[in-house]
Amino acid sequence: MRATQQEIAQKLNVQPPFADAQQIDHEIVHRVAFIKQCLLNAHLKTLVLGISGGVDSLTAALLAQRAINELRADSQDDAYRFIAVRLPYGVQRDEDDAQACLAFIKPDEVHTVDIAPAVKALKAEVHTLQDGTQEHVDFVMGNAKARMRMLAQYTIAGARAGLVIGTDHAAEAVMGFFTKFGDGACDLAPLSGLVKNQVRTLARHMGAPENLVEKVPTADLEDLAPGKPDEVSHGITYAQIDAFLHGEDVDEDVSDTIIATYRKTQHKRELPFAP
């Protein structure tokens, strides 16, 4: 088990625990520099990111806005912009948290796209959904919501010649807890290699309010289980996932769950099959 634990952590490029505040500062500087270099390499000046109200998008947005601010200051070019996108499905139950995130991030621009009409229209046109159970259809349409959100972000990025930021990190990657070609699709993923608590630590270090830093994570994609916590879906906690990825001792059932889920979701972390 230990060898598999180490192999998974290595493949996901898991970063070791932060030793002190100086190392946290260094990590922020490093990831901001990464974002800046991605834009410079692409010869583009716009970043796009969906803001859900959770700590992952909050942290990625804080890094992105800082990167844009530095690029503007370095180049004296006001064309550099960060666009934060709200992507509710109708009325979002935790909209107040999303608005609180936006107020703290202070993005250059905020766009809102209600994905409900498009998702419902798609559902009405896909007649094979009529053959499924209510639970299965709800799951399939949950993935459709995630993909529609990414479609909206890429549409905005295309209109403004920008890059789309993803929020995947190691604790989600190991569990395959993202929608293939949905929130798993992006141009750059500045939180890669971090475990969940490290994402929270970066947000806290950048001054984010504690209620947003410690908000219960939820993908909130299921109509039949609104606001379902990620940890309920996992069957284990993020603290246990973080411990596993950092090479700590965890209960055998926790290790078995993580390894089995990692193997089952391997297809999500690979390129499409090719001859």
**Using an 8 Å Cβ cutoff, are 53 and 218 in contact?**
no
The question of whether 27 is a catalytic residue gets the answer no
pTM of the entire structure?
Answer: 0.96
Q: Which residue of the set 27, 56, 108, 187 is catalytic?
A: 56
Per-residue confidence (pLDDT) for residue 74, from 0 to 100: 96
pLDDT tens by residue, 1-47: 789 999 999 999 999 999 999 999 999 999 999 999 999 999 999 99
16-226 sits in which CATH class?
Answer: alpha beta
**Using an 8 Å Cβ cutoff, are 58 and 203 in contact?**
yes
Q: Which residue of the set 27, 168, 172, 242 is catalytic?
A: 172
Per-residue confidence (pLDDT) for residue 1, from 0 to 100: 75
Report residues of the chain scoring pLDDT below 50: none
The question of whether 56 is a catalytic residue gets the answer yes
Residues 225 and 133: their CA atoms lie apart, in Å, by: 15
Per-residue confidence (pLDDT) for residue 151, from 0 to 100: 98
pLDDT tens by residue, 92-125: 999 999 999 999 999 999 999 999 999 999 999 9
Can you give the C-alpha Rg of the chain in angstroms?
Answer: 19
| Crossing angle (nearest 10°) for helices 238-245 and 196-205 | 100
CA atoms within 13 A on the CB side of 138: 10
